[in-house]
Structure 1
Amino acid sequence: METLGGLFRQTRERQRLSLEQIASKTRIQQRHLQALEEEDFASLPAKVFVKGFVRSYARSLGLDEDNALQLFLTTSSDFYDRTQEEQQHIQVTLQAAHRKRFNWNLVVILFLAIGGVLFYLLPWQQETVPLPPESETPEPISGMQDKEILDPTPHIEELPDSVSSESPFDTEIQLTSPPPPDIIPSQLPAEPRPGPTLPVSPVPEKATGIDGTLVLEIEATQLTWVVVQSDDQAPHEALLQPGQKSTWKADKQYLLTLGNAAGVIVRLNGELQGPFGKPGQVVRDIHLKP
């Protein structure tokens, strides 16, 4: 039975084309083209992106795309079935470990809760507060009823004529502090009032990056394979997971290839670009420049 790798290799060699020429024509990395010919599916990205590789490779060689895609599905069925079983086994194992860890955590929490309740309910934790002693009325001292009350006025001797009869101790001393002065409400400091609130105008974003460079941001919302070429440099390839973001810099322009056109959010110097296509659609030669 004819295989996908054999079909691609024989057709390419018959047309006297190199992998480097096919990579330049299809904008697919040379190592991915070689993996397709060797049927090394473990070295390729996700299956949805490999389908786009197969169609592009077949189109560049003049082969029927649907026939090549059907041949790919037949050739790679064993590998992807085995990979799917392994992923399911790993997922089941992780779920079982999570449930086991959750059960142990529940047991520990219940044990601590029961121990805390018992600790506060033990009899030896209850302290007895002694009652205050009853107040006793002091008995009167015997003999005090008949004792006379002495005259509290002290005896003052007469002073000689040379000494003034006025004494500094005769001056009445004012011990109480003077009452505070009345506070007139009009003399109180006025409570500050808040001034008018001025509207805050938003700060506009810069149209260009630092030093005039073009900043490209690609954020994946779905699993997406991207190829980015900055100016005349070699293209860079990346497989972005959902939520992953990558940033590139260039001086003049970018050339993009998206393996899942609706699976990314593209911004050039902060400005949203696109949309570029539908979910799962492979779009090439996307030119981005200011």
Structure 2
Amino acid sequence: MENRIDDNDRESIGALFRRLRLERSLEIADVAAETRITPEIIRAMEADDFTALPPLAFARGFYGLYAAMLGLDQEEIIQRFSDEYKRTDTVTKSGGLTAPSWQERHVGSMASPPSYSFGTIFGIGLLIVLLIAAGISWYAGYNPASQASKWLRGFQQPPAEQSVTADQQTPQPQALPNKPAPAGEAGVAPSEPLVPPATTPLAEGYRYLLVAEFQEDATISIAIDDQTKETVSLSRGTIRTWQARESIGLELPAETAVRLFLNGITLPLPPATDGTISLTIPEYLLD
């Protein structure tokens, strides 16, 4: 049965709710479990703290639920709440309702722009520039390591030889004497001068171009990128070319007579260890 409100008109709705709850020996938690209203809102309702309530449409519903639980007339409680609400300072001169304080705080925090430090903005900008530069280098096949090596080796180039007249010219010594060809094979003519490797273009997506000119027979081992290392036997005068995207690993006997060019630049051989010359590109360029 719903109870009519008669002699209780003098006390506020919040005081009425609190008195009836205590008369029934109910805790706020009991009311919250029954009505599904949070304890914070129940305390605000009993304290007549309208500024701590949610928007008016929701607040009317909460007052109706609380009234139904206490056996009060819901429509009468809701109408009485509306009248008390209008008498508070939340009514503007134009007759509109101002937002409750809790709503204003939340809306204000959502509207405030995020703050970023100068260091954060600078770091993000620098990262974007580096990513763009790396993408351009990859697309164009530009290798910073090989360019740095070329720049450093430019300081080590020997001075240009002075031009001499035809009478002053002397025969150039042979780099290595020609070995006799094995029995049953025709003699192999000395190798022609190697065409500058720089004229050989790199395929798209490749970073390293290794050219080897062998001036005597040799057996070498070579590994390109992540491929399995293979052993190759080459005869005197052979010119071989390999292209790689990431790395080149080369092993050859210490006494091998060979000239190496990497991306058009002469590549000196490292010292032999245990009778074997080993080098890995690009690590060898950075040593």
> Please, what TM-score do these two structures have when normalized by structure 2?
0.30
Pick the structure with greater CA Rg: 1
